[in-house]
Amino acid sequence: MATTLERPQVVPAAAAASGIPDFETIFRDEAAYMGRALRYLGVGEANLEDACQEVFLVVHRRLRDYGGGSLRAWIRQICVFVARNHRRSLARHPEDLVGELPEAADPPDQAGALERRRLRDRLLTVLDGLPEEQRAAFVLFEIECLSMAETAQALSCPLQTAYSRLHAARERIHAAISEEDPS
Q: How far is Cα 160 from Cα 166, in angstroms, rounded to an integer?
A: 10
Q: At what angle do helices 71-92 and 23-40 cross, to 10 degrees?
A: 50
Whether pLDDT at 102 is above 60: no
Q: Rounded to whole angstroms, what are the CA distances from 134 to 36, 78, 84, 170?
A: 18, 17, 12, 9
Q: How far is Cα 103 from Cα 149, in angstroms, rounded to an integer?
A: 40
CATH code given to domain 121-183: 1.10.10.10
Fold of 14-93: Rna Polymerase Sigma Factor; Chain: A (1.10.1740)
- In this prediction the pTM is 0.64
Contact 22, 8 (CB under 8 A): no
* Same fold for the pair 14-93 and 121-183: no
Q: What one-character DSSP code corresponds to residue 26?
A: H
| pLDDT band with cut points at 50, 70 and 90 for residue 141 | very high
pLDDT of residue 157: 94
What residues does each domain of the chain span?
14-93, 121-183
Nearest to 82 by CA among 92, 90, 71, 70: 90
pLDDT in tens, 65-92: 887 778 888 888 899 999 988 888 776 7
